Amino acid sequence: MKMKIAALALLALVAVGCNPFAHDSDVVSSNLSNDADKFLILRRVVFYNGITDKYMLTIEGFCALGNSDGPKELTVTCKVAEGQFKKHFLGLSDNVTYFVEQLDSANVSRDHYIVIFKPEQIVPDVKS
């Protein structure tokens, strides 16, 4: 019985993101990524041709990168005003690539890691 309780407690810690074995840099990196996904990090995304060494496109602003894009595409979603967003679809090829630069430093914790569940994603919208 005590083993089950200990296992459940460990599972609960890992489930909420409180990994006692995580390195500070892993927590900071995750927190920066989470803030960028919430449009809190100013970024510059540059696309360039690796053969010609020419820049093709630059997107700058409070932008989040697509998390489930395929190997030959990238989506960049940017907040342009309060409640207003633009989404860009970009194709990648053997000679076209990109890099993302964080333009300003961000104040994120190296000790604090949280997971935020959006209720509308968990609780189904039941219409009567």
Q: What is the pLDDT of residue 82?
A: 93
pLDDT given at position 60: 94
Q: Quick one: pLDDT at residue 65?
A: 92
- Per DSSP, helices labelled H in the chain are 2-15, 24-37, 119-122
pLDDT recorded at residue 103: 86
Per-residue pLDDT at 121: 60
Task: State the pLDDT at residue 78.
Answer: 95
Query: Distance between CA 67 and CA 48 in Å, rounded?
Result: 21
Q: What is the pTM of this model?
A: 0.64
Residue with tokens 């994603």: 121
Report residues of the chain scoring pLDDT below 70: 1-22, 109-126, 128
CB 47 within 8 A of CB 98: yes
